[in-house]
Amino acid sequence: MTQDPRPTPGTVYLVGAGPGDPGLMTARALELIAAVDVVLYDALIPATALDGARPDAELVDVGKRGGGAQVPQETTEQLLVRHALAGRSVARVKGGDPFVFGRGGEEAARLRAQGIPFEVVPGVTAGIAGPAYAGIPVTHREHAPGVAFVTGHENPDKPESTIDWPGLAGFPGTLVFYMGVRRLPQITASLIGGGRSADEPAAVVQSGTVGGQRVVTGTVGTIAEVASEAGIAAPAVTVVGSVASLRDELRWFEDRPLFGRTVAVTRARAQASGLARRLRALGAEVIETPTIRTRSLAATVPPLGAFDVIALTSPNGVRELVASLLRDDRDVRELHAATIAAVGPGTARVLREVGLRADVVPETFTGEALAAALTAGDGRAGATGAPDGGGRGASAPRRVLLARAATGGSALPDVLRAAGDEVTELALYETVAEPLSDAAREQIAAADYVTFTSASTATFLAQAGGMPTGDRPRPVSIGPVTTAALSELRVTPAVEAAEATIDGLVAALVADASD
């Protein structure tokens, strides 16, 4: 009996990625994107939706852009079938929900006809989320007992509209039109012709749930003209019904302190997500344009029991030290007798994540301040007040391991050596440039702010030709060390954090934006 040489078909996941805010993606969507072999994605998915994809996964852009380049639906379905029949798992990632004007039903039918297993992962649809972020509930006990979702862009192959406009006009609830901005004059005329009042409230929500959200309001009779004069464009949804009158009372998203501001984040991609998440939560439109990335070095960690003090100058240093120990079948128990020093609360926080408590954290979060904290008093006192951080005696030099990046400054080791310490410098990782595309440079130039969280982010952005040269974007520095690096590049920060932490940077940015 001849064995069938064809592989077992892979599963296709029709995944809804939500309306744009990354926080509205479901846990299942993120789980699948991180697991599959191939991702076919649309243009309107959240900016960070694919960040968790496997490094070896094939990512294919099949997005459709209003008025722009189009990938035919037939081509997309062929790709789904080809990859699945080759035995690959595939995530078809769509903005919103795959079964709400996402053509997911057509794709599911094609897969079923080919004998390919599939799963549908619902997503938050724009017709609910966009109005919600604009302060418009699509249903309300006093205003709308129901909601109807309607396409504003019917199949162009149909000879005439199949929408029952009189029936739709008579629907006793909210109407939400998808993809209909360019046809608003025809849509509103059809509603009025069908019997809907021209004086009924209406609203259009463009780019709902993200920092670039725009909302205009009017009536059924005026909304098309209002939207046109405001330059409202796709992607957008139109809301018709008395619930639209609640916007002024219930608006919330636009009242956030950074709403309407665009912020470019130049931090390394692995560390950028936390800052970007904070800024988005404050209403900002965030552009992640990393100028650096860290690269682990093949460092051999000496026996840690030989040191009195372990000094760590960054969260990356903590992670790399622990990773190096584990690679060598060792662990953090080797640090049990040492004084552990951290340059700031961010580094101390990562230490806590691996079960360690920092004994020394200076009030000012710089290498110089850490050196001063370690050499305070008689030059030998640890955080517990024990001589030498371990009781070695004042005459014996203290042994210090400085675990950090390969390009760390000289201030910290120089001060410690001047105080009589024996300093061993252990380079665990290096910072290298992340290529910056022309599009990324244009995005930075168009932003309101660009953040610098280290001297290296400033250096590498300058090398990539993306450093701001005018009044916009406003450079935001995390602290004096970064400010000094910017000054060497002839850039004066418009904003400097009072506390050299991510919390301090965000607070300084918010204060500047509110001025």
Query: Could you tell me the two tokens for 111?
Result: 């897969």
Catalytic residue among 4, 21, 37, 42: 42
Quickly list H helices, 96-203: 104-113, 126-133, 165-169, 184-194
Sheet holding 449-452, edge to edge: 285-288, 262-265, 449-452, 474-477, 495-496
Phi-psi sector, 260: left (phi>0), alpha (psi -120 to 50), beta: left
Under 8 Å CB-to-CB from 91, ≥6 apart: which residues?
A: 12, 13, 15, 32, 33, 36, 38, 39, 40
> What token pair was written down for 253?
């998203």
Question: Which residue, 37, 83, 76, 29, is CA-closest to 58?
Answer: 37
How far is residue 161's CA from residue 165's CA, in Å, rounded to a whole number?
A: 9
From 21, 51, 61, 64, active-site residue: 64
Question: What is the per-residue DSSP string for 214-249?
Answer: EEEEEETTTHHHHHHHHT--SSEEEEESGGGGGHHH
Rounded Cα–Cα distance for residues 445 and 118 (Å): 43
Contact 466, 485 (CB under 8 A): no
Q: CA-to-CA distance for 358 and 62, rounded, in angstroms?
A: 49
**94 counts as catalytic:** no
Pairing of strands 174-178, 236-240: antiparallel
Instruction: Determine how many CB atoms are found less than 10 A away from the CB of residue 161.
Output: 11
State both tokens at 52: 């968790």
Which two structure tokens, joined as six digits, stand for 298?
């093949």
Please tell me whether residue 510 adopts helix, strand or coil conformation.
helix
Q: Tell me whether residue 64 is one of the annotated catalytic residues.
A: yes
The answer to whether the peptide bond before residue 235 is cis (omega within 30 degrees of 0) is yes
* DSSP codes joined into one string, 190-201: HHHHHT--TTSE
**Are the CB atoms for 79 and 60 separated by under 8 Å?**
yes
Distances (CA, A) of 269 to 62, 273, 441: 24, 7, 16
Residues with active-site annotation? 42, 64
